[in-house]
Every structure is written in structure tokens, then in C-alpha cells.
């Protein structure tokens, strides 16, 4: 899976879980720093309003790193700029400073 590099001015996207690929192993849930991942009816799901593509925390999306079947993928329906994702981080974590890479 290719990922757009952060902090280069391109558009980023929230992530989604491909329901055709997810095997509901739960590995991603505890790795999400924003608690954006939860168990759905059959597979796990990402709440886009909480997903910053890990911006503010990590250089790479943690869910995609741990998923054994590459089910965590960028969601083109939730395209956001890096600035918007940093703002989302600040709204989710008003007491924290985002880490920039």
C-alpha cells in the first residue's frame, strides 16, 4: 500500500477499513491514538471524524502498520489537508501539542 508522505503539502485522508479484507482480529483498535477504531457488526470500523491519519502522534498510520491483511486504507471520501488534520488533532486533544515530523 502506498501512502502520501506527510508534511509535504499534499492532501492527506482519513483512513477506512476495507470490510472485504478485515478479519476482525482487533489488532488495530488499541493502536489508534485517537480511539477512532471500534468493532462494528461484522468487521472493525474507523470513525473518520476522529482519524487524523495519526498526524500529531506518529509519522505513519499505526492501524495500517499492524493490520495483517492490509485492510486499513486511505479513504478518498475524507480528503483533508495536513492543516485540517492538525486542527482535528487539537480539537480531539486540546491539552496536547501535536508532534510534527
Beta-carbon-side half-sphere exposure of residue 19 (alpha carbons within 13 Å) = 7
Instruction: Say how far apart CA 45 and CA 17 lie, in whole Å.
Output: 6
**Phi, psi torsion values for 87, nearest 5 degrees:** -60, -40
Instruction: Say how far apart CA 32 and CA 76 lie, in whole Å.
Output: 20
Of positions 61, 80, 85, 89, contacts ligand SF4 by CB under 6 A: 61
Q: Binding to ligand SF4 by residue 34, rule CB under 6 A?
A: yes
Range in contact with ligand SF4 (rule: CB under 6 A) among 5-13, 35-43, 77-85, 90-98:
35-43
The smaller minimum CB distance to ligand SF4, of residues 8 and 72, is found at 72
Of positions 10, 26, 76, 81, contacts ligand SF4 by CB under 6 A: 26
Quote the least distance from Cβ 35 to ligand SF4, whole Å: 8
Amino acid at each position: 500500500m502506498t501512502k502520501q508522505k506527510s508534511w509535504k503539502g499534499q492532501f492527506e485522508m482519513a483512513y477506512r477499513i476495507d470490510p472485504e479484507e478485515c478479519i476482525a482480529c482487533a489488532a488495530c483498535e488499541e493502536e489508534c491514538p485517537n480511539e477512532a477504531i471500534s468493532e462494528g457488526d461484522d468487521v472493525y470500523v474507523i470513525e473518520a471524524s476522529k482519524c487524523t491519519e495519526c498526524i500529531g502522534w506518529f509519522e505513519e498510520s499505526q492501524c495500517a502498520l499492524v493490520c495483517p491483511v492490509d485492510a486499513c486504507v486511505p479513504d478518498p471520501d475524507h480528503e483533508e489537508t495536513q492543516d485540517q488534520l492538525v486542527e482535528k488533532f487539537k480539537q480531539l486533544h486540546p491539552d496536547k501539542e501535536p508532534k510534527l515530523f
